[in-house]
Structure 1
Amino acid sequence: MEDFFIRTYKKGDEIQIIKLFKFAFGEEMTLEEWQWKYQNNPEGFVTFLALFGDVIVSHYGIPYIKLKLGNKLIRAASPGDTMVHPDYKGKRGGKLAFFSEKMWPEQTVKDNLYLGFGFPNERIYKVGKRFGKYNDVGKVDVLWKYLVRGWKRGKILQEMSRVYFKFDYFFKKLKVKKGDFKIKKITCFDERADNLWEEVKDLYPIAIVRDKRYLNWRYVERPVDYTIFCLEKGEKWLGWIVFRVKREEFNDIFVKAGYIVDMLTVNRRDVAEYLIMTAIDFFFKKRAFFIETWLSPADKNYNTFKNFGFLKQREVYMVWRPFLIKNEKETNLVGDIHNWYITLSEALVI
């Protein structure tokens, strides 16, 4: 058998990586998507690869993200795509995450990584806890707002439920007073996004640095269609919201799903209300079946979402692991979900 070994990414590997994604998941990942997520990431990345000879059989990709932690800025690792060729599952080539552990100490120093965090599924979470690699942060709430019910009961019942949800939403909108701002669709983030981040960043002990550099990479440069709105008062931004429609499969049927991916506002309830209403209006027009968003239980806008009919549908695990972080105060801060500002942005999935 050809020699088995592990190394990090080299230029040109992406051609095999794209083919591996197809073998592993049965669907396409475009070259542009991989390049956006890794090569073009402004904070950098590391990708560990397992090979037999010159054939890549496993991929463990980790994009880096700039975080605000207390009063300092740090670089964090957020594991992305883990994939194994079906022929190597359960074999050496399929245990890349395990074998790559010995490479992490050198990598964290080289890339100045303070910590890592992620959102593993239940199976991966249990494995990580068993081997002592994960520290708990807490659970993130996944909120849904239904726009249609009776997905398998025929179009007539679906349309009746859609009318009901529209009426219910209409009366909720009547309770919201118009503020001293205007809503505007935008295609990129400029200095006003930086100004908003500087104004609100101290509301969050831990958060991705949502400046124009990050936001344009995340929502403008990615080869995916996002819709972005801002609320402005004069030349000042009071908030912005990012959402997306995506076709998803649930219970053996395909439906349009709406995702509120990210949002940032000044500390005003009416601003959050208008941005959320903008998203709901959009998803009704697109005939989405439901809307999903992620929130920390301590999010200042949690009750605002609930008032618009969003309900907790499930929870996802959030974990972290220390790299260069040594300070006990910071460690305690990171280990509490209530200190994090979390949206779907962190997952890099939607």
Structure 2
Amino acid sequence: MNNKWIDNEQDLHLVKQLFNNNDSPRTLQHLKWQYIESYSQKGRLILGGVDPSLINGLTGIYAVFQNRFMSNGKVVTGSQSLDTLVAPEGRGKGLFNKLASQVYKEAEDRNIAFVYGFPNGNSAHGFFNKLDWINLDPIPFLVLPLRSHYILSKLPIINKISSFLPNITYLKRIKYKGNLNIVKNIDIDSNYDKLWQNFSKKINIGLVRDAEYINWRLSRPEEDYQNIAICNSAGEMQAICIYSLKEKHGGLIGYIMELIYLEDKLGSIVLNKALQHLKNNNCDAVLAWNFDHSPNHAAYKANGFLYLPEKVRPIELHFGVRVFNKELKNILKDRNNWYLSYFDSDTV
């Protein structure tokens, strides 16, 4: 079985065919956005396994994306593990390990410091037991229930009678004095970058979420992202919440993609405004990724978000890192140094 680096738009048809044939359909528009139009032109490390018995076919793919990361106040080059798939006819032959090993060698040659990601339940064993990943579980899922019927329907035993109970809708309102300049769907530009630069000083390890990255991320096809921001009298951005609403997990689910602010009070307010908008659009529950040590955790706590236990999560995901730069191993292996949000996810 031969391998090939996937580095042009023509190859995307092979990638699309592999995903579509294995119950994970992708559109060419999405693949082009992810693989070709990435904001980092040096960001793609994509290797496919080619079965000689197939004509122009792939039996497996492994892809990581090079990105800029904060690390103790400095910017380093890291990468995120994204697409991993081996077709049934290629399984049990070590193809996954072979592809990953070649990608990791190339990553080290490029002086990429690490690869991190969120393996699902099917692939976690391979990452942690065969590819030398450090387990940083669990992913910090938070949830805010908005409609009782949806939450009760997910609970054992109670779900059988949930439809007969009152459908209670509740959202805590964050009160504030004075007039705030609240702007909806503001441009992500140099004004945002000033806010990010201040916020990022509180992050030990995390993806650089500047305007360049955010604008590419928000251009993801077939998605609808919105934001609410607070600006001061001079028009300078003081807080922003980026969010989306999707039909997933049997309901209308809100996702807090990112929450960045200068002061906890402003963060609590702008998050609450986003939650009000989601509630008004019949959202059943809101999800977020946020550690209790994150610099914006106070705003989530003020709005009533709760930790979502692993046993009731809608999907099984894990969190881990493979370190290439040994000088950074001690900081990378400590989950208390990491900052995550849904902008780290490739599924929303």
- Indicate whether 1:5 and 2:2 are aligned: yes
Q: Secondary structure at the match of 2:270?
A: helix
Identity of matched residues, %: 19
Shift of 1:105: 5.1
Query: Which amino acid in structure 2 is aligned with residue 79 of structure 1?
Result: S
Shift of 1:71: 2.7
Contact 1:138 1:335 in 2 (8 A): no
Residue in structure 2 matched with residue 125 of structure 1 by the alignment: 124
Name structure 2 gaps, 5 residues minimum: 154-159, 311-316
Q: Secondary structure at the match of 1:276?
A: helix
Q: Call closer, same or farther: CA 1:111–1:272 in 2, change over 3 Å.
A: same
Contact 1:59 1:96 in 2 (8 A): no
Q: Call closer, same or farther: CA 1:38–1:219 in 2, change over 3 Å.
A: same
Q: Secondary structure at the match of 2:299?
A: helix
Shift of 1:217: 0.6
- Indicate whether 1:205 and 2:172 are aligned: no
Name structure 1 gaps, 5 residues minimum: none
Cα distance per residue 1:233-272 (max 9 Å; x no partner): 12211121111111113xxxx3111111111111x11111
- Indicate whether 1:240 and 2:240 are aligned: yes
Residue in structure 1 matched with residue 269 of structure 2 by the alignment: 274
Runs of 4 or more, structure 1, over 6 Å off, are 153-156
Residue in structure 1 matched with residue 96 of structure 2 by the alignment: 97
CA distance in 2, matches of 1:222, 1:7: 27
Cα distance per residue 1:145-174 (max 9 Å; x no partner): 11122345799757x32xx333xx2xx31x
Q: Call closer, same or farther: CA 1:288–1:155 in 2, change over 3 Å.
A: farther
Q: Call closer, same or farther: CA 1:45–1:180 in 2, change over 3 Å.
A: farther
Shift of 1:223: 4.3
Q: Secondary structure at the match of 2:194?
A: helix
Q: Call closer, same or farther: CA 1:306–1:51 in 2, change over 3 Å.
A: same
CA distance in 1, matches of 2:101, 2:219: 36
Residue in structure 1 matched with residue 22 of structure 2 by the alignment: 24
Q: Call closer, same or farther: CA 1:136–1:91 in 2, change over 3 Å.
A: closer
CA distance in 2, matches of 1:155, 1:326: 52
CA distance in 2, matches of 1:104, 1:20: 19
Residue in structure 2 matched with residue 165 of structure 1 by the alignment: 169
Q: Secondary structure at the match of 1:56?
A: coil
Shift of 1:75: 1.6
Shift of 1:13: 0.9
Comparing both structures, which one devotes a greater share of its residues to helix? Answer: 1
Contact 2:196 2:209 in 1 (8 A): yes
Q: Call closer, same or farther: CA 1:34–1:337 in 2, change over 3 Å.
A: same
Residue in structure 1 matched with residue 295 of structure 2 by the alignment: 300
TM-score (norm 2): 0.86
TM-score (norm 1): 0.85
Comparing both structures, which one devotes a greater share of its residues to strand? Answer: 1
2:329 to 325, 331, 334: 331
1:343 to 332, 341, 344: 341
Query: Which amino acid in structure 2 is aligned with residue 291 of structure 1?
Result: V
Residue correspondences, number = 327
CA distance in 1, matches of 2:265, 2:178: 7
Query: Which amino acid in structure 1 is aligned with residue 301 of structure 2?
Result: K
CA distance in 1, matches of 2:321, 2:82: 14
Q: Secondary structure at the match of 1:140?
A: coil
Residue in structure 2 matched with residue 231 of structure 1 by the alignment: 230
Q: Secondary structure at the match of 1:196?
A: helix
Q: Secondary structure at the match of 2:111?
A: coil
Residue in structure 1 matched with residue 115 of structure 2 by the alignment: 116
